[in-house]
C-alpha cells in the first residue's frame, strides 16, 4: 500500500548529523589546511613584528652604549692631554728645553735625534711623578704622546709607538688617525705656548680604540645573542598566541558547519515526507476523493512544519545579527502572562495539567521591548512545561520583581532534565530524546529562540531541574518602571 511508504518516512527516527568536537582537529582537508596556513601566517606576522621591534630596540641600546663609551674615552683623552700639557708648560718653554722632561716628568719620553732604549714600554711604567700615573691600568699602555714643532717636525714621542701612524697637522684639535694596520686612534692636539703668544710646539695625545672596539664587539654579540634568544621565545609565544586567536574562529566555523548540517537535516524530513506522499499517490491508477483529501492534509501539515522551521531560522538569524529587538514598546508582563494563560488553558486541560498563575507583585511590571517576541519567549516555555509534564501534573507561572528585574518562573512537575542535558538544551536543534521529539514534529529550536529573545532584551534564561521532580525555567528581564 502506498500509504505505508508515507508513514515509514514520517515515523522514521530522526537520524541527526553527529555533533562535531570544537577543536581544530575536527576540521579536515582543505579547511584544515586553510586554518593551519592562517595560523602559520599569523605566527610569522607576530614574530616578524616583534622581531623588528626588538631589533630596533637593540640597535638603539647599542648606539647609546657606543656613544656613551666614545664620549667617556674622548673626555678621558682630553683630561690626560690637559694634565700632560700643564706639566710640560710648567717645566719647558722652548723646544731645546725638552730634554728636561725626560728626567723630571716623562721618563719614557724619547727626544728626536736621541737613541731611545728599545721599544716604548708605555707611559704606565713611568715613576710616580708621571702625570699619566693616575690612569686606570688597563688604559695606561694605550696612550701615545707626540710633540711637534709649528713646522710639523716631530720633536719627541712618548708612551706607545703605533707603527705607521701619520704625523697629522695639529688642527682640528680632535682627530682619528689610523696606523698601518688600519687601527683607529683618537687624538687630541693642543698648543704649547707658555708665553701666551705664538705656540712653540704642539702636544698630541692619543690612544688606540682597540679595547673599546673589542668591548663594543662583545656588546654587539651579546645583543645579537639576546635578540636571537628573544626571537626564539617570541616564535614559540607567537605559535601559541596564534592558536589562541584562531580558537574562536575554529569554534564558530564548527558551529556554522553543525548548524548548516542540522538545518539541512530538519528541512529534509518534511520535504521527504511530501515527496513520498506525492510519489505514492502518483503510483495509484486512480485516486479517490478520500485519498486526495488525505494526501493534501499530509502535504499541508508538512508545509506548515517547513514554514515554521524556516520562520524560526529567520527569527534566530535576525536575533543573531541585530542583538536587540527592532520594535520596542512598553509591555506589561501581567497582561502578557494573562494572555498566554488564556491561550494555553485549553491545551493544558486537554493534557490534564493544572495551569496556575501567581502574581507576587501588586504593581504592574513593564518591560521595554518587542511584545511579540516576549510573548513567544514565555509561550515556548509554558508549551514545553505542559508537553513534558505527565497528566495530573501542574504548571505554575510566577511573576515577581527581583531588584531591577522582572522574574518570570515557569515551574512544572514533569519529567525533568538530566544534568548532562541542562547546558545543551539551549543549543540549536538539540533535543533530549531526538527520536521521540522528531515524531512529535518539534525541531529543537524552541529554547534556542527563547534564550536569544531573552538576551536581545538584556535578560537571561536559566534552568534548574531534577529528573522525575520537574523543571523550573527562570526569565530575568530588566524592567523599565
Ligand atoms: P523542542 O522544540 O524539541 O521542544 P526545545 O528547544 O523547546 O525543543 O527543547 C529542547 C529539549 O529540552 C526538548 O527536546 C526537551 O527534551 C527538553 N525540555 C524543554 N523543556 C522541558 C521541560 N519543561 N521539561 C523537560 N524537558 C524539557
Q: What is the pLDDT of residues 346-395, one digit of tens each?
A: 999 999 999 999 999 888 899 999 999 999 999 999 999 999 999 999 99
More confident residue, 313 or 437: 313
**Ligand 1 pocket, 124 CB below 6 A?**
no
Residue-wise pLDDT tens digits, 214-231 = 899 999 999 999 999 999
**Ligand 1 pocket, 377 CB below 6 A?**
no
pTM: 0.62
- Provide the pLDDT for residue 367: 93
C-alpha cell at 187: 687624538
**What's the mean pLDDT in 30-49?**
89
Residue nearest to atom 1 of ligand 1 (CA): 444
471 C-alpha vs ligand 1 centroid, how far in Å? 10
pLDDT exceeds 80 at position 107: no
Residue nearest to atom 11 of ligand 1 (CA): 431
Banded pLDDT at 128 (limits 50, 70, 90): very low
pLDDT exceeds 70 at position 131: no
**Ligand 1 pocket, 14 CB below 6 A?**
no
462 C-alpha vs ligand 1 centroid, how far in Å? 13
Looking at ligand 1, which atom is closest to the CA of residue 415? 25
- Provide the pLDDT for residue 12: 47
- Provide the pLDDT for residue 341: 96
Q: Given ligand 1 and candidates 421, 447, 463, which is best to mutate, with the most ligand atoms within 8 Å of its CB?
A: 447
**Ligand 1 pocket, 245 CB below 6 A?**
no
Residue-wise pLDDT tens digits, 185-208 = 889 999 888 766 788 899 999 988
**Ligand 1 pocket, 446 CB below 6 A?**
yes
Q: Which of 123-127, 148-152, 332-336 has the lowest mean pLDDT?
A: 123-127
**Ligand 1 pocket, 414 CB below 6 A?**
yes
Residue-wise pLDDT tens digits, 445-477 = 999 999 999 999 999 999 999 999 999 999 999
* Spatial separation of the C-alpha atoms in residues 264 and 253, rounded to whole Å: 16
- Provide the pLDDT for residue 127: 35
b or e along 215-233 (b: 16 or more beta carbons within 10 Å of the residue's beta carbon)?
ebeeeeeebeeebeebbee
- Provide the pLDDT for residue 252: 87
CB atoms within 10 A of CB 269: 21
- Provide the pLDDT for residue 105: 60
pLDDT exceeds 80 at position 212: yes
- Provide the pLDDT for residue 271: 94
**Taken in order 367, 372, 378, 381, is the CA torsion positive or negative?**
negative
Distance of CA 144 to the CA centre of its chain: 59
pLDDT exceeds 90 at position 32: no
Long-range contacts of 298-304, Cβ-Cβ distance < 8 Å, separation of 24 or more: 298/6, 298/10, 298/273, 298/274, 299/274, 302/270, 302/271, 302/273, 302/274, 302/277, 303/270, 303/274
Banded pLDDT at 24 (limits 50, 70, 90): very low
- Provide the pLDDT for residue 222: 95
**What's the mean pLDDT in 50-64?**
95
Q: Which of 63-77, 133-147, 384-398 has the lowest mean pLDDT?
A: 133-147
422 C-alpha vs ligand 1 centroid, how far in Å? 10
Amino acid at each position: 500500500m502506498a500509504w505505508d511508504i508515507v508513514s515509514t518516512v514520517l515515523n522514521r527516527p530522526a537520524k541527526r548529523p553527529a555533533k562535531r568536537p570544537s577543536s581544530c582537529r575536527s576540521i579536515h582537508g582543505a579547511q584544515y589546511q586553510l586554518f593551519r596556513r592562517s595560523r602559520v601566517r599569523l605566527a610569522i606576522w607576530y614574530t616578524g613584528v616583534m622581531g623588528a621591534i626588538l631589533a630596533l630596540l637593540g640597535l638603539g641600546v647599542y648606539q647609546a652604549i657606543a656613544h656613551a663609551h666614545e664620549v667617556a674615552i674622548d673626555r678621558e683623552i682630553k683630561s690626560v692631554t690637559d694634565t700632560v700639557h700643564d706639566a710640560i708648560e710648567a717645566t719647558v718653554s722652548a723646544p731645546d728645553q725638552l730634554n728636561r722632561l725626560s728626567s723630571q716628568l716623562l721618563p719614557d719620553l724619547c727626544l728626536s735625534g736621541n737613541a731611545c732604549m728599545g721599544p716604548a714600554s708605555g707611559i704606565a711604567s713611568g715613576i710616580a711623578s708621571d702625570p699619566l700615573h693616575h690612569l686606570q691600568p688597563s688604559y695606561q699602555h694605550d696612550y701615545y704622546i707626540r710633540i711637534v714643532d709649528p713646522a710639523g717636525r716631530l720633536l719627541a714621542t712618548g708612551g706607545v709607538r703605533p707603527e705607521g701612524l701619520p704625523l697629522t697637522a695639529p688642527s682640528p684639535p680632535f682627530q682619528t688617525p689610523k696606523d698601518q694596520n688600519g687601527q683607529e686612534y683618537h687624538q687630541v692636539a693642543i698648543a704649547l705656548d707658555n708665553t701666551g703668544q705664538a705656540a712653540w710646539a704642539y702636544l698630541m695625545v692619543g690612544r688606540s680604540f682597540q679595547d673599546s672596539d673589542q668591548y663594543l664587539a662583545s656588546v654587539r654579540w651579546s645583543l645579537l645573542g639576546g635578540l636571537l634568544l628573544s626571537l626564539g621565545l617570541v616564535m614559540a609565544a607567537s605559535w601559541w598566541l596564534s592558536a589562541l586567536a584562531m580558537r574562536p574562529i575554529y569554534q564558530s566555523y564548527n558551529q556554522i558547519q553543525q548548524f548548516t548540517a542540522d538545518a539541512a537535516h530538519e528541512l529534509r524530513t518534511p520535504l521527504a515526507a511530501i515527496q513520498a506522499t506525492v510519489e505514492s499517490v502518483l503510483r495509484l491508477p486512480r485516486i479517490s476523493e478520500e485519498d486526495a483529501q488525505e494526501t493534501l492534509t499530509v502535504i499541508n501539515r508538512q508545509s506548515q512544519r517547513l514554514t515554521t522551521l524556516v520562520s524560526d531560522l529567520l527569527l534566530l538569524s535576525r536575533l543573531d545579527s541585530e542583538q536587540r529587538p527592532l520594535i520596542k514598546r512598553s509591555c506589561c508582563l501581567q497582561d502578557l502572562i494573562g494572555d498566554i494563560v488564556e491561550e494555553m488553558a485549553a491545551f493544558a486541560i486537554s493534557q490534564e495539567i493544572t495551569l496556575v498563575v501567581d502574581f507576587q507583585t501588586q504593581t504592574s511590571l513593564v518591560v521595554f521591548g518587542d511584545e511579540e517576541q516576549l510573548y513567544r519567549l514565555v509561550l515556548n516555555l509554558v508549551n514545553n512545561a505542559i508537553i513534558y509534564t505527565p497528566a495530573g501534573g501542574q504548571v505554575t507561572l510566577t511573576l515577581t520583581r527581583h531588584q531591577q528585574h522582572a522574574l518570570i518562573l515557569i515551574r512544572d512537575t514533569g519529567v525533568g532534565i538530566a544534568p548532562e542535558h541542562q547546558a545543551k538544551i539551549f543549543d540549536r536543534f538539540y533535543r533530549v530524546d531526538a527520536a521521540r521529539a522528531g515524531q512529535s514534529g518539534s525541531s529543537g529550536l524552541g529554547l534556542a529562540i527563547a534564550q536569544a529573545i531573552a538576551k536581545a532584551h538584556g535578560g537571561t534564561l536559566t534552568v534548574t531541574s531534577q529528573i522525575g521532580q520537574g523543571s523550573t525555567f527562570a526569565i530575568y528581564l530588566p524592567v523599565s518602571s
